Amino acid sequence: MAASCSLIWFLLCVAIAVGLPDHSHHSHHIAASHDYRDALTKSILFFEGQRSGKLPPNQRLQWRRDSGLSDGSEMNVDLVGGYYDAGDNVKFGFPMAFTATMLSWSVIEFGGMMKTEIQHAREAIRWATDYLLKATADANVIYVQVGDANRDHSCWERPEDMDTPRTVLKIDGNNPGSDVAAETAAALAAASIVFRRSDPIYSRLLRKRAIQVFAFADKYRGPYSNGLKSFVCPFYCSYSGYQDELLWGAAWLHKATRNPAYLNYIQTNGQTLGADESDNTFGWDNKHVGARILLSKAFLIQNLKSLHDYKGHADSFICSLIPGTSFSQTQYTPGGLLYKMSDSNMQYVTSTSFLLLTYAKYLTFSSKVVTCGGVTVTPKKLRSIAKQQVDYLLGDNPLKMSYMVGYGQRYPERIHHRGSSLPSVSEHPQRIPCSAGFAALTSPAPNPNVLVGAVIGGPDAEDRFPDQRTDYSQSEPATYINAPLVGALAYLAHSSGEL
């Protein structure tokens, strides 16, 4: 009896793995295993802990104070504001722009499900886009970084005490940076869609600037890490080149402006910009997969026949993720977490979960599925994979630990983050000098300030996590880890009836 039972279970598991026909795509109600609404609130609150500049009266994370108030002054420009990317005090324009694009995409797809959080999500986007508008105010120059990362990393100090050089880096016609410029254009274009109804004047400003910045990116071609190598590498070196950003930027401008010139640009340049390359990693460096999913929407929902191929390109990405198909190229930990690399792996978990839920939405709308060889993969299957990844992040894992700070009973307490690990200005008003802070870096004590909502790099390939502050690859949070998670959590909170 036991043998036949286990055989039945085996067959059922295989059926689930390959995706049985999905007859329920009109009601995607899911059972909530987590308080997704609480996680959504916290995932957006995190961005307030990363703010640079003059903090507003409604700042909720009270342990942070004003910082970087003279940023840009060495070049006589105002570059106050924006976000610190991770646990340090540098403002890197490349990941900041990607963060803004993904926050905006989260709101575009799932903002209708965010209820009271929509306002906070818009504020998080605007904190980035206000800065990006300053950085692109001169039509022939884009300021892409404030701070010397090498000097910054030789200190462990609060942003409020910063005394390392606030070096200003720029790209221009002589020193191009199509990657960072086109990503900035994508961010401005995506945000213009977010603010179209709530603030039409701001939306028009963003759209106009996006057009200008994309033209600059396309005209002066080259990766920004060629000219700025000693400053941006190895931190945010452009490893994938700039072609992916040009395709991604054009896709967002097509969506934001509805100008046929961008559709023409995509049709003419898509192949040379790598539309059908099989690079299946989506993050701050490589945008190909995101561009494929975004352009497939125009085919699936707006019925733009000329973008038919992007459905195929998007499908091949999906097939690379599905365990048990011949196309699968994806590694999972024993506990079931998508595992791409040892350094800040959780960014791929959140970005992939977002793309799965977004593509499931497009497929459902157009009554389509994905075919991986002989295997049919339904929107329902994509949602279940995404939910499983988010649930792992929130605590359904071998360590029973949430990888979002402040969520759940057990979460990382020693994150690699200067402001969180040092006593706050209200607790310790005196300046803490550059090297004095290193005692906090190596201390075994929990961080005194809880950076609520921060999602960190996460466990290793064997589901292990030491919770050590010195281990930046596993313990450091980053804005681009959280940004796509905001959309995924909004969907899960709504579909489980919490919002």
Active site residues: 416, 467, 476
C-alpha to C-alpha distance for 405 and 407, rounded to whole angstroms: 6
Exposure string over 90-128, b if 16+ CB within 10 A, otherwise e? bbbbbbbbbbbbbbbbbbbbbbebbeebbebbbebbbbb
Three-state secondary-structure class, residue 338: strand
Q: 188, 206 in Cβ contact below 8 A?
A: yes
As a three-state string, the secondary structure of 7-52 is HHHHHHHHHHHHCCCCCCCCCCCCCCCCCHHHHHHHHHHHHHHCEC
Task: Give the Cα-Cα-Cα angle 107, 109, 110 (nearest 5 degrees).
Answer: 65
Three-class SS state of 301:
coil
Q: Which of 191, 83, 102 is nearest to 145 (CA)?
A: 83
Amino acid at 153: H
**Left if phi > 0, otherwise alpha if psi is -120 to 50, otherwise beta: which for 324?**
left
* CB within 8 Å of 219: residues ≥ 6 apart: 173
C-alpha span between 260 and 437 (Å, rounded)? 54
- The CB-based long-range contact list for 395-399 (8 Å cut-off, 24+ gap) reads 395/34, 396/33, 396/34, 397/335, 397/336, 397/337, 397/459, 397/463, 398/334, 398/335, 398/463, 399/459, 399/463, 399/464, 399/465
Only one residue has tokens 């057990």, namely: 410
- C-alpha to C-alpha distance for 299 and 333, rounded to whole angstroms: 35
Answer positive or negative: Cα dihedral of 476, 102, 128, 238: positive
CA–centroid distance for 393 within its chain:
15
User: How far is CA 131 from each of CA 51, 96, 139, 172, 404, rounded to the nearest angstrom?
Assistant: 11, 10, 15, 18, 27
Would you state the structure tokens that stand for residue 49, as one six-digit string? 């802990």
Q: What are phi and psi of 325, to 5 degrees?
A: -105, 160
